[in-house]
Structure 1
Amino acid sequence: MIHVPRHATTFSLFVPDEETAREGAQELAARGHTLVRVAPASGSGWRIASLDEGPYPDEDDTWWTAAEDRVVTELAVDLGADLRRSMAHPETARRIFPEGETVCDRTVEQVRDTRISALSRIPARATRPAVVHDLGKPEPPDVPTGEPVVLRGLDDVDWAALTGAYGSAEEVPDILRGLAANDEGWDQAMEEYFSAVVHQDTCYDCTPETVRFLVQLTRAPHLSPVYRLELLIHLSYIATIEPVPPTGEDGSDEAATCRAVIDRLPDLLGFWPDAPAAARAWLIVLAALRPARDRLPDFQEFRRQVDGPSPALDLALALVSGDDDVVLDLTLAAASWDEQVSAMLETPIPLRARHLKILFHLAQAELTPGN
């Protein structure tokens, strides 16, 4: 059923010159955008402003909005444009729409056929696999033992010579000691870690130095199981901010952090025999950082014991085994029902890095307690 979305999207494309602006404006008008204007941009260049008010082929606003965003993003790349977007109720979007020369100004009903025709080339969302396993359910509540974990080598690092989000990393050992206390202060210490050591997808030269201590905590037998699972998830996250290949030089603090996790994979996987199912699932996700077949039989046997579909585990196993054809099939399948995967597949980064980011995204949705 054809549907008018609740929110409209305003796209602003900043291009080098007037000719490019008019070309891009015509492209967007031809896609059925209701209001399109061009104008000189402040400073230099030109601006294209375009309003997508729908309609969409069905009521799945999130899917079609993301699909149109991908199309406009591709157009922006072709035009050499800087793209910005915003969303608002249609009345608000029109009221604050940028001034300029109007290329077209139409109602949703007037663009109906053009809009549906443009979107007809994009398949509707496929059915998401019905996950029936319970790996993403919270583990039974437990009470931390209160017995602290001794972090070996913590004082051997010159933390004051390293930097974090707010300058010197001299406070980092205290943050790690807060985690090692293995008590009710865990959440506060973890919040401090993701403020000072990893901040909004940014790592620092202190970040890779912390990885070995996070791994020590993960391997500590008396660490609370809830905390251990959380660490495995966090290690997967920081390793996929900027995934790097198994060999090669580190080009950034994010890549160096990924390398540090890869280097500690043998220690992490040494926990496999004693790990509960939820932790084993995340160990497989982490193992995907480096194609390796030595643990593959254990991983495959674990997968056979997991009931029903598991997009995250299947993709992780394909990455561990290095089966590029299966990886491609699985990521394309996920893109047919997850709009974020579609966007990730088009990210201009190396293909394996894209796949690892998709893996973490799928694992978050499927394997994170509470999701």
Structure 2
Amino acid sequence: MITVPRHATTYSLFVPDEEAAREGARALTGRGHALVRVAPDPTTDSGWRIDSLDEGPYPDDDEHWWTAAENRAVTVLAERLGGRLSRSMALTETARRFFPGEELVCDRSADDVRELRVGVLSREPARTPAPAIVHGLGAEEPSGAPSGEPIVLDGLDDVDWSSLTGAYGPAGEVPDILRGLAANDEGWEEAVEEYFSTVVHQDTCYDCTPETIGFLVQLVRAPQLFPAYRLHLLIHLAYIATIDPVPATGEPDSDEAAACQAVLDRLPGLLALWPDAPAAVRAWLIVLAAVRPGAAPRPEFHEFRGRLDGPSPALDLALALISGDDGAVRDLTRAAAAWDEEVSAKLEEPFPHRTRDLKVLFHLALAELAPR
């Protein structure tokens, strides 16, 4: 059923010159964007800017899917024109009210572009049904025992934290954040929020970040840590390890790469949890193992997967990465892209293949295996 989306998308393409701007405007007009304008970019000497408004309609009511499909198409256009892209979303009335003026190439209503817009998007595949996950690994497990006693972090005072930096300057408060985690009490969530504000912030690491990884691993391995906290820490470690996995990015000196390497260096200690670990922890250990380049396949990983009922896109991708089966990795990521628009977006990012695959892995693992 053809549907007008609730939110319109405004695209701004910054291109090298007027010729590129005119070409891009024609392409966006041909895709059924309702408003398209071109103008010199006042921030450059010779650059131009294209603004366009996509307000639908879409082939059906799956607004997120079709918006993502259009994002991919406009991103490809911007790259072809040698430009860059920004976008914003708003209610249609708001987007029209604040749409830039100057030279309008076209000014149409959603009704005017209905046939053209639906025809263009209908050339894209619709979302396929997502696999039904029945294994239950994402179910929240009760914490129960152990006692919740505080954990002593060995070597915490041996680090010269004042010489390191975090998101807001010197990292002098980082040991207190780690002690907050080690308290193993009701203040856990607050300490986690402080960690992901100061030590890791919006996919950015700092020179203090790698120094904290060993202490996070101490917490994970501490027998008295609440089970729910252990699982959450493993998820956080998987996230850190996939921000800038090395050596795939070719930037081994970045703080993000150093933090990833710090996780990988301690992977044997994490995998030592396997024999006594519950199923949810084992699943995240497999995800973490997939981050290491050339990791040796472990029969127990495949045995674990074999005992699970139903589909597991995350674990299947992790096992394919561990085994180095590039064909299976390609097939699994493409299959996921057919039902998850975020996977499609990640596969289009300008990263090396392995980096993209690991980011897809973490995204799928978070959706499938994180406690809910």
- TM-score of Structure 1 vs Structure 2, range by shorter chain: over 0.9
Contact residue 143 and residue 226 of structure 2 kept, 8 A: no
How far does residue 251 in structure 1 lie from its aligned partner after superposition? 2.6
Which amino acid is 1:65 matched to? T
* Matched letter for residue 354 of structure 1: R
Which residue of structure 2 aligns with residue 83 of structure 1?
Answer: 85
Deviation at 1:249, TM superposition (A): 6.3
1:27 positional shift: 0.6
1:185 maps to a residue whose letter is G
Quick check: 1:136–1:278 contact (8 Å CA) kept in 2? yes
Instruction: Measure how far apart 1:237 and its partner are.
Output: 0.7
Please name the residue that 1:73 is paired with: 75
Deviations 1:161-189 (A, max 9, x none): 11111111122122112211222222222
Distance 2:213 2:191 in 1: 15
Check whether the contact 1:144–1:182 (CA below 8 A) recurs between aligned residues.
no
Paired position in structure 2 for 1:303: 305
1:150 aligns with 2:129: no
Question: More deviation in 61-70 or 3-12?
Answer: 3-12
What is aligned with 2:338?
336
The answer to which of 140-149 and 263-272 deviates more is 140-149
CA distance change for structure 1 residues 247 and 82 in 2, over 3 Å: closer, same or farther?
closer
Aligned to 2:329: 327
The worse-fitting range, judged by mean Cα deviation, of 127-136 and 34-43 is 34-43
Partner of 1:11 in structure 2? 11
CA distance in 1, matches of 2:248, 2:110: 51
Tell me, in whole angstroms, the C-alpha distance in 2 between the residues paired with 1:108 and 1:37: 17
Q: Is this contact kept in 1: 2:289–2:295, CA < 8 A? A: no
Q: d(CA) in 2 for partners of 1:144 and 1:184? A: 14
Q: Compute the RMSD of aligned alpha carbons.
A: 1.6
Distance 2:271 2:52 in 1: 51
Q: CA deviation at 1:150?
A: 2.1
Show CA shifts across 1:10-38 (max 9, x none): 11112222111111100100111111111
Q: 1:246 to 1:150 in 2, by over 3 A?
A: farther
1:197-230 CA distance string (max 9 Å, x none): 1112111001011111111111111111111001
Gaps of 5+ in 1: none
Show the counterpart of 1:215: 217
One-letter amino acid of the structure 2 residue matched with residue 331 of structure 1: T
| DSSP 3-state at the match of 1:288 | helix
Q: Which amino acid aligns with 2:354?
A: R
Asked if 1:275 corresponds to 2:273, the answer is no
2:41 matched to 1:41? yes
Picking from 284, 287, 290, the partner of 1:285 is 287
Local SS of the residue matching 1:109: helix
Q: Does 1:118 align with 2:120?
A: yes
C-alpha displacement of 1:143? 5.9
Give the whole-Å Cα distance in 2 for the aligned partners of 1:146 and 1:95.
56
Output aligned runs, 1:216-295, within 5 Å.
216-245=218-247, 250-291=252-293, 294-295=296-297
Contact (CA 8 Å) 1:35, 1:51: kept in 2 or not? yes
Residue 26, structure 1, aligned to residue 26, structure 2: yes
Question: Corresponding residue for 1:56?
Answer: 58
CA contact (8 A) 1:3 1:57 kept: yes
Q: CA deviation at 1:140?
A: 1.4
Aligned-pair distance for 1:335?
0.2
How many residues of Structure 1 are paired with residues of Structure 2 in the alignment? 370
Q: 1: CA distance between counterparts of 2:147 and 2:306? A: 34
- 2:12 alignment partner AA: S
The alpha-carbon deviation at position 292 of structure 1 amounts to 5.0
Shift of 1:295: 5.0
Range moving further from structure 2, 286-295 or 198-207: 286-295
Distance 1:255 1:323, change over 3 A: same
1:346 to 345, 348, 366: 348
Q: Within 2, Cα distance between the matches of 1:248 and 1:74? A: 24
Query: How far is 1:65 from its partner?
Result: 0.4
TM-score (norm 2): 0.96
Distance 1:102 1:150 in 2: 65
Counterpart of 2:181, as a letter, is L
Question: Following TM superposition, where does structure 1 have runs of at least 4 consecutive aligned residues deviating by more than 4 angstroms?
Answer: 246-249, 291-295
Which stretch of the first structure deviates more once superposed, 84-93 or 263-272? Answer: 84-93
